[in-house]
Amino acid sequence: MGMVGGGIGAFIGGVHRMAANLDGEIELVCGAFSSDPVKSKASGEALYLPSDRVYGSFQEMIEQEKKLPADVRMQFVSIVTPNHMHFAPAKMALENGFHVVCDKPLCFTMEEAYELQALVKKTDLLFALTHNYTGYPMVKHARQMIKEGQLGALRKIVVEYPQGWLSTKVEDTPSKQAAWRTDPQRSGIAGAMGDIGTHAENLAEYITGLKITRLCADLSIFVPGRLLDDDGNVLLHFENGAKGILHASQISAGEENNLNIRVYGEKGGLEWRQMEPNTLLVKWLDQPTQILRTGVGALSRQAHAHTRIPAGHPEGYLEAFANIYRNFAFCLRAHLEGKQPDPIYRDFPSVDDGVRGMLFIQKVVQSSADTQKWTDF
């Protein structure tokens, strides 16, 4: 793996490196860790990389790595920069034959999203988007239950992602994370809805297997002087006629990362919460509520394939993140060997999911500004 971004002082780059390393399937061999060459070199030194594999720019990294022997050079690029810097390295990597893992959202504009989608199709290279919440075992079990029709036809989906860390104007402090996430030049056209609302959108579509067809959005900026939304509420229509509610907020004071989802069908419903990820509640019309736990009982093959340790030992954020990297690694190894991977490991978010996420951002912003409100998705 070669990495773009994630240098000294960055948060998500360290998470990606830990996730990629967890199963011993991936080795970090090079990087362009900052747009500042001096900072990039210092970051590479802190990661114990040889100096000749630490680069001053992603362009230099891709050009120089391509010249190395096939058994030495990086095989894929992990992009962990702010949103506005996703497209250029992803495009260059694909054009030069390197597979890509990219943090979400996919890129900065819809035009960039469609170009990357077409390029992935043209090159037949692997592309993973790190919507990491899809990696939890109980999320995968919930998806399988719905796929098998255990809840009957779905009627109602409620997904929420409240945080409280931007309840004050944190971007005016030395917080690097707050600064770029609230800056339209680096984050894009949306704030909270682009940052965490896309996680909620992706989780709803992933678990239910349904696509959103229409939405009606109301975005707000509660903190005076902030340039992008810090709270949003969205009504949703799904392709089978189900209705939904999506709420994403970064000014819900006291909340941490309380992503949760409830799905209701004709026969029953289910509930999953990211802050208690080993538990899935299943609620039935005609029998007591079930409490399903990771690693316990007759869970789906999908859940067991993404569980590492015995029941009662909590698996959380890093392990879910690592499932995406591990699955990507298994599929990449099969690709390099000219084989087909086990379908259970082809389960990671793709460039198509990234396009859906970008379209969601665009339509939510459009709907919020439009007096007509309901917008086709």
At residue 144 the predicted structure's pLDDT band, cuts being 50, 70 and 90, is very high
Sign of torsion, CA 18 306 256 172? positive
**Looking at the structure, do residues 192 and 79 belong to the same domain, yes or no?**
no
Give a yes or no: residue 324 inside a domain. no
Q: Provide the percentage of residues in the chain whose pLDDT is more than 90.
A: 95
Give a yes or no: residue 330 inside a domain. no
Q: At what angle do helices 87-95 and 58-67 cross, to 10 degrees?
A: 10
CA end-to-end span of the chain: 35
Q: Is 253 helix (H, G, I), strand (E, B) or coil?
A: coil
372, pLDDT greater than 90: no
Sign of torsion, CA 304 308 312 316? negative
Give a yes or no: residue 145 inside a domain. yes
**Looking at the structure, do residues 243 and 277 belong to the same domain, yes or no?**
yes
Residue 128: φ, ψ to 5°: -120, 140
Distance CA 14, CA 7 (A): 8
**Looking at the structure, do residues 172 and 106 belong to the same domain, yes or no?**
no
pLDDT in tens, 255-289: 999 999 999 999 999 999 999 999 999 999 999 99
Q: Is 99 helix (H, G, I), strand (E, B) or coil?
A: strand
Number of Cβ within 10 Å of residue 58's Cβ equals 26
Look at residues 67, 97, 129 and tell me which one is the last residue of a structural domain.
Answer: 129
Give a yes or no: residue 297 inside a domain. yes
Number of domains the chain is built from: 2
**Looking at the structure, do residues 248 and 304 belong to the same domain, yes or no?**
yes
**Looking at the structure, do residues 198 and 229 belong to the same domain, yes or no?**
yes
Average of per-residue pLDDT values in the chain: 96
**Looking at the structure, do residues 304 and 174 belong to the same domain, yes or no?**
yes
Q: Who contacts 152 (Cβ-Cβ below 8 Å, separation ≥6)?
A: 265, 266, 267, 268
Q: What is the CATH number of the domain that holds 165?
A: 3.30.360.10
Q: How far is CA 42 from CA 49, 72, 176, 237, 260, in A?
A: 10, 23, 18, 49, 39
Q: Which of 96, 269, 350, 193 is nearest to 88 (CA)?
A: 96
Q: What is the CATH number of the domain that holds 57?
A: 3.40.50.720
**Looking at the structure, do residues 102 and 147 belong to the same domain, yes or no?**
no
Q: Which pLDDT score, from 0 to 100, does residue 238 have?
A: 98
pLDDT in tens, 288-306: 999 999 999 889 999 999 9
At residue 243 the predicted structure's pLDDT band, cuts being 50, 70 and 90, is very high
Give a yes or no: residue 315 inside a domain. no
Sign of torsion, CA 146 318 274 307? positive
Distance CA 208, CA 157 (A): 8
Look at residues 73, 103, 129 and tell me which one is the last residue of a structural domain.
Answer: 129
Is 216:375 a contact under the CB 8 Å cutoff? yes
Residue tagged 């860390």 (tokens): 165
Look at residues 61, 96, 129 and tell me which one is the last residue of a structural domain.
Answer: 129
At residue 371 the predicted structure's pLDDT band, cuts being 50, 70 and 90, is confident
Which pTM value belongs to this model? 0.94
CB-neighbour burial class of residue 276 (10 A; exposed 0-12, middle 13-18, buried 19+): middle
Give a yes or no: residue 326 inside a domain. no
Q: Which of 184, 216, 236, 212 is nearest to 369 (CA)?
A: 216
Q: Who contacts 117 (Cβ-Cβ below 8 Å, separation ≥6)?
A: 351, 352, 354, 355
**Looking at the structure, do residues 30 and 119 belong to the same domain, yes or no?**
yes
Q: Which of 68, 61, 1, 73 is nearest to 34 (CA)?
A: 61
Give a yes or no: residue 135 inside a domain. no
Number of Cβ within 10 Å of residue 27's Cβ equals 10
Distance CA 64, CA 326 (A): 26
9, pLDDT greater than 90: no
Q: Which pLDDT score, from 0 to 100, does residue 67 have?
A: 97
Is 1:14 a contact under the CB 8 Å cutoff? no
Q: Which domain holds residue 146?
A: 140-309+355-376
- Alpha helices of 87-161 — where are they, by DSSP H? 87-95, 110-123, 137-147
Strand order in the sheet with 290-293: 290-293, 279-284, 268-273, 260-265, 154-162, 243-249, 231-238, 212-220, 375-376
Q: Which pLDDT score, from 0 to 100, does residue 315 have?
A: 87
**Looking at the structure, do residues 161 and 13 belong to the same domain, yes or no?**
no
Give a yes or no: residue 174 inside a domain. yes
**Looking at the structure, do residues 10 and 84 belong to the same domain, yes or no?**
yes
**Looking at the structure, do residues 160 and 258 belong to the same domain, yes or no?**
yes
Task: Classify strands 231-238 and 127-129 as parallel, antiparallel or unpaired.
Answer: unpaired
**Looking at the structure, do residues 34 and 65 belong to the same domain, yes or no?**
yes
158, pLDDT greater than 90: yes
